[in-house]
Amino acid sequence: MMLLGKRPSMKRSKEEIILLLLCGLSIPSILPFGVIRLIQGNWWLGAVDLAIVTGMLCVIVYVLRTRRVRVAGIVVTIFYSIGMLTALSLRGSTIVYWAYPTMIAAFFILRAKEALAINSLSLLCMVWLLYKVMPLFDLACVIVTLTLINLFSTIFSHRTNLQHRELNQQASLDFLTGAGNRRAFDKRLSQLCADDVNQFGACLLLLDLDHFKKINDEFGHSVGDDVLIRVADLIRSRIRATDGLYRYGGEEFVVVTLGNQLEASAKFAEELRSLIENTPIFKGCLVTTSVGVAELRDKDTPNAWFERADAALYEAKNSGRNCVKLAKTSHTDS
């Protein structure tokens, strides 16, 4: 059993891709109008169009070089809004339709609350600019439709974010026991090895249910699943909020404890072993577990840390099972 390290991904995030696409699409959408207006002698409005195109090009270069989208997204949205309002002040209600794609684009770039705040301010400025030059009924229609667009976009963004969080949570949980899955465990180990947690202590408790195949063979896989669920519930009832429970695979579980040195974690592992042994999990079937414990050391990699816990678990199995063994404290120990 071995954790496989992954190279850090160089793929661009979805936020980067969306921002780059919106900026890239705005250039061919606006540039022709700017050129035509300059040819027709409409210098101010043509200059606004070209300024927006230039700004989008600068944002694209900035994001491609730095991969920072947070500030760039706010700048793009404000820049779009100012350009739209400037065009309205120069041409009046004849180009009010540009407000619709401008406001919708904000929700693709920013968080819903940020997009709603900028769009609300833009809408107030629009009302001030158009109040005297646009029929009241037409202005009311624009206000209502833009308000509904912002309302629907906010609801859609909120719903999408909720679904995204739910999918992420489901992707990190074991479907049977509700414990963290292998993916979540690998991520947690990488975080701990990258952070400076040694001064507080961190340990791995690797648990393997003894003779679990025999349970499946004699009582059926449905009983085996019930045993796994009950064991996970027992462990979860004893760990702290700062600890983590993961199902590594099959009948193996891992507990990651924080703030405990090796001795304290070994004592806790013994408590878990005893709890599982003395709990009537399934009538007519004694469930026990072997446990290997390893402490995080300076400059540890996830693989090295896990391998020590795995070696301690192997020793526990070879010692008759249903016991706790600690990893060697140094490479030179026998």
Give per-residue pLDDT as tens, 248-296. Answer: 989 999 999 988 888 999 999 999 999 999 999 888 789 999 999 999 9
Provide the 10 A C-beta neighbour count for residue 60: 18
Identify the helix (H) or strand (E) that includes residue 91.
helix 70-91
Residues 231 and 130 in one domain: no
Residues 149 and 22 in one domain: yes
Residues 111 and 247 in one domain: no
Residue 330 pLDDT class (50, 70, 90 cuts): low
Calculate the dihedral angle through the C-alpha atoms of 89, 92, 131, 105, rounding to the nearest 10 degrees.
Answer: -80
State mean pLDDT over 174-188: 91
Residues 110 and 226 in one domain: no
pLDDT digits (tens, 9 = 90+) for 99-108: 999 899 899 8
**Domain of residue 294, residue span:** 182-326
Q: Is residue 7 a part of any domain in this protein?
A: no
Q: What is the sign, positive or negative, of the torsion defined by CA atoms of 84, 85, 86, 87?
A: positive
Residues 19 and 69 in one domain: yes
Residues 294 and 221 in one domain: yes
For residue 121, pLDDT over 50 is answered with: yes
Residues 200 and 284 in one domain: yes
More confident residue, 322 or 6: 322
Residues 91 and 153 in one domain: yes
Residues 167 and 191 in one domain: no
Number of domains into which the chain is organized: 2
Q: Is residue 333 a part of any domain in this protein?
A: no
More confident residue, 6 or 186: 186
More confident residue, 26 or 246: 246
Domain boundary among 147, 171, 195: 171
Q: Is residue 4 a part of any domain in this protein?
A: no
Q: Is residue 300 a part of any domain in this protein?
A: yes
β-bridge pairing 324-326 and 244-249:
unpaired
Whichever domain contains 298, its CATH number is 3.30.70.270
Residues 58 and 92 in one domain: yes
Domain boundary among 132, 147, 171: 171
For residue 35, pLDDT over 70 is answered with: yes
Residue 199 pLDDT class (50, 70, 90 cuts): low
Q: Is residue 95 a part of any domain in this protein?
A: yes
Q: Is residue 331 a part of any domain in this protein?
A: no
Q: Which of 166, 251, 270, 295 is catalytic?
A: 251
Q: Is 251 a catalytic residue?
A: yes
Q: Is residue 52 a part of any domain in this protein?
A: yes
Residues 33 and 70 in one domain: yes
State what percent of residues in the chain have pLDDT above 90. 47
Q: Is residue 8 a part of any domain in this protein?
A: no
Spell out the residues 6+ positions from residue 47 whose beta carbon is closer than 8 angstroms to its own. Answer: 34, 38
Residues 188 and 154 in one domain: no
Provide the 10 A C-beta neighbour count for residue 167: 10
Domain boundary among 140, 171, 202: 171
